[in-house]
């Protein structure tokens, strides 16, 4: 709205607004000053009056002169601003008052502003208390008096009204400001008229003249004005002279842009969605075998050349993007060549214009030929036709390039790099068929191939695993390392871009292992691949952020991991891992449940930490066997306790998100529940937020089966990740355990926020890691009434846990 106003209106409006703000601000400031002075003067007057009354009361009580006190109270009541003036004894009984009707009454019952607590506080401290309430415009005073005998007066209470004084002062202040406003308004009008003739009128003339720039009627005759306006007049004349030259330069720039587009060897298309007209660059036509002057520019020309097997998926992908259901349009499909065969292309586009109703009207994009490029390790058609399960060795083309580079290297002595990329796609394999999954990875391979220069070769090893060979990273190890890390980061960003395929939306992640290749050492390709894989395993660690370099220490670590992996497999098969039980207690210290923990003790006496052997189990694919083993053994112990007549509390087993995702894992758990005839809610599982934040339909199906079988679901480590409240609402969670780090936090704000968010869903909440009574009291104050930690009990073996839970006489009888 303000952009459409003329300066002739806008400047006076701004000046008037500024003037009113200054005047009103000054008025409010002086009003506050006047109130402050009145309050201070009135308070001083009240202090003098009360001091005199204190002296009179004390002397009159000593002489038993009641009439003198009556006279003083009557004299004080003559002040029109005095609303309440009473003298009370220790029992708050009014002995004297400015209104006789109040006498011998209880001050608490007849005086609204009187506060007996303040009364006794003032008397005990012998210090007067005078408070000012500017909202009610009143003064309240408590003044102590030393009583001369039991039942004597001990306090003077006074309430004074400031409203009449303030009203009178405000009226005088308003009259003075009205005179100031009038004089200031006249000066403002005069200044505005001068400003109009000196600045606004010349600018208006100059604005009308600027509309004629570039036309034969352009004329810059401006009346006398300021130097700035005259300088603008000269600038307009220069603009008029340069406009013709600028038009010529624009035409030249357009020609250069077209040359740059064609030189990139990517086809360009520009689609007018309303009319269906499409601009097709010469390169676009060349990709499918046509000359620049051939092919009509229309949407139907492109649509009719789509391969029949690809048409529906491509058009659905395009429609989802146009309707806003997907964030980008990217597709790998086949177009019919002029000679009759089909060409694989990577098609990527984006919307650039919309109408006033928000409907898309224009879209531009590129076509990249990805079927015969030397950067591709094999034809995409071969990948689709041979989409079978199992591993696939390095394609011959990629193997040839890798072998040649390792043997010959380059004469410049530059360092190269080998990158092993593993794509993480949890939940994707359950949503797609093997054929569709292979097509998805084919699109990913095409995306990677289209992004990198000729000195970087992309290879597809197997489903979800890619290799890149960068021939020139730097002249020394330091430069090669920096560029290699940058390239690996770029790789992860490219892979993380969303995919839209087969009516699904996928967001992938990747871990990248980097092995730098110098110009001296000669290695076998298999060794290079092995070392890059070791680096990739390290990249999975949280502190590596998805990228890691190979170093010699990884070989030693690999050897130890292989030995531990074999021992762990044996320990799982032979049930050699120890089960420990850590109780969960309520505010009264009663045990309400227990968490089952795994411990691994080697035959030589070494102890492998849970974080280490669980990570090893996840990397080696043993995690599902480990979780099933713990659940089975826990079921056996519960069945054994039931036959012995023991009533044990509910127990829970930690289940990895990797185990939860595996096909058939939930069915195995339910089979154990049925086999050992476990009672409802007797043995539950603990899942982290990572599990609940996967694809909703995937999680809901598995959670539903567990809930129907009476297996309680516990959300563990709440607060360490995204703290998604959606999972508390979507799924039948029976209990939430706070992350163990919450107990060690110095500030309670985060703890309070987490606890309040869970309490809204009326779900049992447990604070983990409680190591002191102080921590327990802190969580209890925040509303958490269940605890787990060393403050109550360390993890116990089953025998000790039974002694803790069950009465000793019962155990002896067994």
Q: What is the pLDDT of residues 447-476, one digit of tens each?
A: 787 677 567 888 887 778 888 888 888 777
Q: Looking at the domain assignment, is residue 712 inside a domain?
A: yes
- Summarised one tens digit per residue, pLDDT across range 625-665 is 999 999 999 999 999 998 888 889 999 999 988 888 888 89
* pLDDT > 90 in the chain, percent: 11
Q: Calculate the average pLDDT of the chain.
A: 80
Q: Looking at the domain assignment, is residue 56 inside a domain?
A: yes
Average pLDDT over residues 127-146: 85
Q: Looking at the domain assignment, is residue 113 inside a domain?
A: yes
- Quote the number of domains for the chain: 4
Q: Are strands 82-88 and 713-718 parallel, antiparallel or unpaired?
A: unpaired
Average pLDDT over residues 29-58: 83
Q: Are strands 735-738 and 650-654 parallel, antiparallel or unpaired?
A: unpaired
Asked if 148 and 50 sit in the same domain, the reply is yes
* pLDDT > 70 in the chain, percent: 84
Q: Looking at the domain assignment, is residue 145 inside a domain?
A: yes
**What confidence score (pLDDT) does residue 714 get?**
92
Asked if 643 and 757 sit in the same domain, the reply is yes
**What confidence score (pLDDT) does residue 21 get?**
85
Asked if 638 and 701 sit in the same domain, the reply is yes
Q: Are 766 and 787 in contact (CB under 8 A)?
A: yes
Q: Are 338 and 285 in contact (CB under 8 A)?
A: no
Asked if 715 and 573 sit in the same domain, the reply is yes
Provide the β-strand partners of residue 142.
Answer: 129, 157
Asked if 603 and 542 sit in the same domain, the reply is no
On the question of pLDDT at 597 being above 90, the answer is yes
Q: Looking at the domain assignment, is residue 681 inside a domain?
A: yes
**What confidence score (pLDDT) does residue 787 get?**
93
Average pLDDT over residues 680-689: 90
On the question of pLDDT at 381 being above 50, the answer is no
On the question of pLDDT at 368 being above 90, the answer is no
Asked if 283 and 158 sit in the same domain, the reply is no
**What confidence score (pLDDT) does residue 503 get?**
61
**What confidence score (pLDDT) does residue 383 get?**
34
**What confidence score (pLDDT) does residue 465 get?**
84
On the question of pLDDT at 814 being above 60, the answer is no
Which residue, 503, 511, 581, 500, is CA-closest to 793?
581
**What confidence score (pLDDT) does residue 385 get?**
39
Which comes out higher in pLDDT, residue 531 or 413? 531
- Per-residue pLDDT band for 224 (boundaries 50, 70, 90) equals low
CA 129 vs CA 95, 121, 154, 203, 292: distances in Å: 20, 9, 14, 66, 96
**What confidence score (pLDDT) does residue 608 get?**
86
- Summarised one tens digit per residue, pLDDT across range 178-201 is 777 778 778 878 888 877 777 777
CA 167 vs CA 34, 51, 171: distances in Å: 11, 28, 6
Here the tokens at position 549 are 């370099």
Instruction: Residue 586: give its domain's CATH number.
Output: 3.20.20.450
Q: Looking at the domain assignment, is residue 241 inside a domain?
A: no
Q: Looking at the domain assignment, is residue 316 inside a domain?
A: yes
Asked if 652 and 577 sit in the same domain, the reply is yes
Which comes out higher in pLDDT, residue 524 or 615? 615
- At residue 254's C-alpha, the angle toward residues 251 and 258, to 5°, is 145
- Per-residue pLDDT band for 392 (boundaries 50, 70, 90) equals very low
Asked if 345 and 404 sit in the same domain, the reply is no
Average the pLDDT over each of 278-292, 518-532, 799-813 and give the range with the smallest value.
Answer: 799-813
On the question of pLDDT at 782 being above 70, the answer is yes
Asked if 479 and 533 sit in the same domain, the reply is yes
- Per-residue pLDDT band for 756 (boundaries 50, 70, 90) equals confident
* Final residue in a domain of this structure, among 507, 522, 551: 551
On the question of pLDDT at 766 being above 90, the answer is yes
Asked if 528 and 603 sit in the same domain, the reply is no
* Final residue in a domain of this structure, among 322, 352, 369: 369
CA-based R_g, the chain, Å: 43
Boundaries of domain holding 472: 395-551
Which comes out higher in pLDDT, residue 85 or 326? 85
* Final residue in a domain of this structure, among 169, 185, 218: 169
Q: Looking at the domain assignment, is residue 384 inside a domain?
A: no
Asked if 586 and 733 sit in the same domain, the reply is yes
Here the tokens at position 236 are 């307009």
pTM attached to this predicted model: 0.40
Instruction: Residue 355: give its domain's CATH number.
Output: 3.30.450.20
- Per-residue pLDDT band for 810 (boundaries 50, 70, 90) equals very low
276 φ/ψ sector (left φ>0, alpha ψ -120 to 50, else beta): left
Asked if 657 and 720 sit in the same domain, the reply is yes
């Amino acid at each position: 709205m303000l952009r459409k106003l003329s300066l002739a209106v806008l400047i006076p409006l701004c000046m008037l607004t500024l003037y009113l703000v200054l005047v009103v601000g000054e008025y409010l400031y002086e009003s506050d000053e006047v109130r402050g002075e009145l309050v201070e003067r009135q308070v001083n007057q009240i202090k003098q009056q009360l001091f005199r009354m204190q002296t009179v009361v004390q002397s009159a009580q000593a002489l038993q002169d009641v009439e003198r006190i009556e006279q003083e109270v009557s004299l004080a009541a003559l002040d029109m601003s005095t609303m309440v003036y009473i003298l009370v004894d220790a029992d708050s009984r009014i002995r004297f008052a400015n209104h006789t009707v109040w006498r011998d009454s209880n001050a608490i019952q007849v005086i609204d502003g009187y506060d007996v607590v303040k009364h006794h506080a003032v008397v005990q401290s012998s210090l007067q208390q005078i408070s000012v309430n500017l909202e009610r415009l009143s003064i309240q005073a408590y003044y102590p008096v030393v009583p001369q005998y039991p039942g004597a007066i001990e306090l003077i209470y006074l309430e004074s009204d400031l409203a009449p004084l303030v009203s009178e002062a405000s009226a005088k202040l308003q009259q003075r400001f009205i005179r100031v406003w009038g004089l200031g308004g006249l000066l403002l009008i005069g200044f505005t008229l001068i400003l109009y003739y000196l600045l606004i009128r010349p600018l208006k003339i100059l604005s009308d003249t600027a509309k004629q720039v570039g036309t034969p009627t352009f004329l810059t005759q401006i009346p006398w004005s300021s130097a700035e306006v005259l300088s603008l007049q000269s600038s307009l004349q220069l603009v008029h002279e340069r406009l013709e030259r600028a038009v010529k330069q624009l035409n030249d720039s357009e020609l250069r842009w077209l040359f740059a587009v064609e030189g990139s060897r990517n086809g360009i298309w520009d689609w007018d969605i309303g009319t269906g007209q499409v601009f097709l660059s010469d390169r676009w036509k060349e990709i499918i075998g046509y000359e620049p002057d051939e092919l009509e520019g229309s949407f139907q020309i492109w649509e009719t050349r789509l391969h029949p097997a690809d048409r529906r998926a491509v058009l659905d992908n395009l429609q989802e993007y146009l309707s806003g259901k997907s964030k980008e349009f990217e597709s790998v499909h086949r177009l019919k060549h002029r000679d009759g065969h089909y060409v694989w292309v990577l098609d990527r586009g984006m919307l650039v214009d919309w109408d006033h109703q928000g409907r898309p009207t224009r879209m531009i994009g590129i076509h990249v030929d990805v079927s015969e490029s030397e950067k591709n390790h094999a034809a995409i058609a071969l990948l689709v036709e041979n989409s079978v399960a199992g591993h696939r060795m390095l394609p011959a083309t990629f193997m040839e390039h890798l072998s040649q580079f390792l043997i010959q290297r380059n004469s410049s002595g530059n360092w190269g790099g080998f990158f092993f990329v593993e794509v993480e796609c949890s939940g994707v394999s359950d949503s797609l068929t093997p054929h569709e999954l292979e097509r998805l990875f084919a699109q990913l391979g095409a995306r990677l191939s289209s992004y990198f220069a000729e000195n970087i070769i992309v290879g597809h090893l197997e489903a979800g695993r890619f290799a890149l060979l960068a021939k020139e990273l730097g002249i020394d190890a330091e430069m090669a390392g920096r560029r290699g890390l940058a390239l690996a980061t770029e790789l992860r960003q490219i892979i993380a871009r969303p995919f839209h395929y087969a009516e699904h939306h996928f967001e992938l992640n990747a871990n990248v292992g980097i092995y730098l290749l110098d110009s001296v050492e000669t290695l076998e390709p298999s060794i290079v691949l092995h070392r890059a894989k070791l680096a990739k395993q390290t990249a999975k660690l949280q502190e590596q952020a998805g990228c890691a370099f190979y170093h010699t220490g990884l070989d030693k670590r690999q050897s130890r991991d292989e030995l531990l992996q074999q021992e762990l497999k044996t320990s799982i098969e032979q049930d050699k891992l120890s089960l420990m039980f850590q109780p969960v207690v309520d505010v009264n210290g009663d045990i309400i449940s227990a968490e089952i923990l795994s411990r691994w003790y080697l035959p030589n006496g070494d102890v492998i930490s849970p974080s280490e052997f669980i990570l090893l189990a996840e990397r080696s694919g043993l995690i599902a066997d480990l979780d099933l083993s713990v659940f089975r053994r826990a079921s056996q112990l519960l069945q054994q306790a039931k036959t012995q007549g023991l009533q044990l509390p509910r127990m829970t087993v930690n289940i990895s998100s990797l185990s939860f995702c595996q096909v058939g894992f939930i069915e195995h758990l339910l089979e154990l529940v049925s086999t050992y005839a476990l009672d409802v809610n007797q043995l539950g599982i603990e899942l982290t937020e990572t599990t609940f934040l996967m694809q909703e339909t995937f999680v809901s199906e598995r959670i539903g089966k567990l809930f129907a079988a009476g297996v309680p679901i516990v959300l563990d480590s709440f607060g360490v990740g995204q703290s998604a409240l959606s999972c508390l609402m979507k799924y039948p969670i029976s209990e939430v355990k706070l992350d163990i780090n919450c107990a060690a936090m110095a500030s309670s704000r985060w703890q309070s926020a987490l606890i309040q968010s869970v309490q809204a869903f009326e779900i049992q909440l447990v604070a983990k890691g409680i190591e002191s009574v102080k921590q327990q009291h802190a969580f209890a104050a925040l509303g958490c009434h269940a605890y787990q930690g060393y403050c109550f009990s360390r993890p116990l073996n089953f025998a000790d846990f039974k002694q803790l839970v069950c009465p000793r006489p019962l155990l002896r009888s067994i």
